[in-house]
Amino acid sequence: MKRRSMYMLLPSNKDNSYKYVGFSSEIPIGKSKSITIKDTASHKNINIAIFNISGRFYAIFGSCIHKGGPLSEGFLNGDIVTCPWHGWKYSVKNGKSPHKGGDSINSYKVKVVNGKLYVNSFPSHRGKRVYKPHTAYSELESSVNNYLIQKSNVTTTYNTTTTSASFDKLLHELNNSKIRVLGISTTNANDEIAPRKSTSESALQFALDYTKNKLNTETILIKLRELEIKHCEGYYSKNAKACIFPCSISEMDKEDQMIQIYEKMILWADIVLIATPIRWGSSSSLYYKMIQRMNCVQNQIITNNKFLIRDKVAAFIITGGQDNVQHVAGELMTFWSQLGFVFGKFPFVGWTRGWYSEDTENNYKEMMTRTNVINNKDLKNKAKDSATNIFYQDIIKMMVSALEMSLLVKRHLYDENVINKYNKIINSNSGT
């Protein structure tokens, strides 16, 4: 007896599991199409991707099990489709991973009758999530989610009653806790290799030491040059939702140390102080390497209405042998404001020697001897004292301002109230 092909069986009128989805001619060989059918069991709409492999048709669940990338738009090589977002691979014949231990997705039987395509809404193979991110990534993701929940709970307590014992306790803890300052040095100048001092890092170290010893803060210094940070791979350019948080690069590469920046910036710091040298009129290359990887923080606002930066202040130190402080400051303030940071009264300080200062080996010396009375040689000898160094005075003014702003936004739950009021307006306008 000759076996009949599954592609020639006409779905019975009583067989409601097969759904008509269109004509086979609509999907050329080597191409795919995204369709939506109603699941027979749940009665919910599900997205299916149908592929034409050498004239035979196969169907799999249309969204990648990793982060929901559209598989119908993926790269097809033989019967293996690669998700266009983060590279997860599946066989279109059965939804399974081509490598051992990989994730799999649902697959569905397809019938072709008289040039018409029918897809069975019951999966012939059920997918399974196998992949697990490394520990540091999972811990960061969980900690940030818990942090946001705690922030929301604090706001609820505040809005319910400002005289409750729990809120009084919160204010007491705030008033008696130290403000935490995260300093990030973005210079590539390595004092351990080259016998020179970095103007931006030296100024940053002064700022951290001063706030710790004089303003009673906690401080941490991160030197970007000491971290192994991978370059941004531009997932946002593929699709806004492909740029996930924590960054998918950190998820797939456990050696990537950008996680340290995310953790300290989002969960630990009250004030983030960035120091950068001027490189051809802009911030350092390491600075741009870092902030490109921070797009996933800002993108959460756009894709998920999720605000990761809460009640945090940013300030900036900009130094260079030649001028362009205001341009660099403008770029810095634009980016960090988009992340959700606020600024104090004096958000940045800058020091340069001017366009014609080509003797850059003297930059550090000149910065350290900059005083209020430039022509007074006696004062120049005391320039390392913050009382006479005009640049250091500006740093003190900036840090006092940042500290006061940090206390204000935290005590008044500034960010939480802004976010809550914004969400109420949006929800009322949408009728939800």
The pLDDT value recorded for residue 8 is: 44
SS (H, E, C) the chain: CCCCCHHHCCCCCCCCCEEEEEEHHHCCCCCEEEEEEECCCCCCEEEEEEEEECCEEEEEECECCCCCCEHHHCEEECCEEECCCCCCEEECCCCCCCCCCCCECCEECEEEECCEEEEECCCCECCECCCCCCHHHHHHHHHHHHHHHHHHHHHHHHHHCCCCHHHHHHHHHHHHCCCEEEEEECCCCCCCCCCCCCHHHHHHHHHHHHHHHCCCCEEEEEEHHHCCCCCCCCHHHHCHHHCCCCCHHHHHCCCCCHHHHHHHHHHHCCEEEEEEECECCECCHHHHHHHHCCHHHHHHHHHHCCCCCCCCEEEEEEEECCCCHHHHHHHHHHHHHHHCCECCCCCEEEEECCCCCCCHHHHHHHHHCCECCCCCHHHHCCCCCCCCEHHHHHHHHHHHHHHHHHHHHHHCCHHHHHHHHHHHHHHHHHCC
The pLDDT value recorded for residue 6 is: 42
Domain with CATH 2.102.10.10 in the chain: 6-120
The structural architecture, per CATH, of the domain 135-413 is: 3-Layer(aba) Sandwich (3.40)
The pLDDT value recorded for residue 374 is: 41
Q: Which two three-digit tokens encode residue 41? A: 């069991």
The pLDDT value recorded for residue 369 is: 76
Residue 210 CB contacts under 8 Å (≥ 6 apart), including other chains? 386, 395, 396, 399
pLDDT tens, N- to C-terminus, the chain (432 residues): 444 444 444 555 445 789 999 999 999 999 999 999 887 666 789 999 999 999 999 999 999 999 999 999 999 999 999 999 999 999 999 999 998 889 999 999 999 999 999 999 899 999 999 999 999 999 999 999 999 988 877 666 555 544 455 555 555 555 568 999 999 999 998 777 766 788 999 999 999 999 999 999 999 999 999 999 999 999 988 899 999 999 999 999 999 999 999 999 999 999 999 999 999 889 999 999 999 999 999 999 999 999 999 999 999 999 987 778 999 999 999 999 999 999 999 999 999 888 777 777 788 888 887 654 444 444 444 444 555 688 899 999 999 999 999 999 998 888 888 888 888 888 887 665
Q: Which of 229, 215, 221, 219 is nearest to 202 (CA)?
A: 221
Cα distances from 217 to residues 176, 180, 271, 305, 312, in angstroms, run 11, 6, 10, 32, 15
Strand partners, 271: 181, 313
pTM for this prediction: 0.84
Q: Tell the CATH superfamily of the 6-120 domain.
A: Rieske [2Fe-2S] iron-sulphur domain (2.102.10.10)
Domain with CATH 3.40.50.360 in the chain: 135-413
The pLDDT value recorded for residue 3 is: 42
Report the length, in residues, of the chain: 432
Q: Which two three-digit tokens encode residue 299? A: 């993108």
Angle, helices 390-411 vs 414-430, to 10°: value is: 50
CB 63 within 8 A of CB 71: yes
CB 332 within 8 A of CB 316: yes
Q: Which of 219, 211, 216 is nearest to 184 (CA)?
A: 219
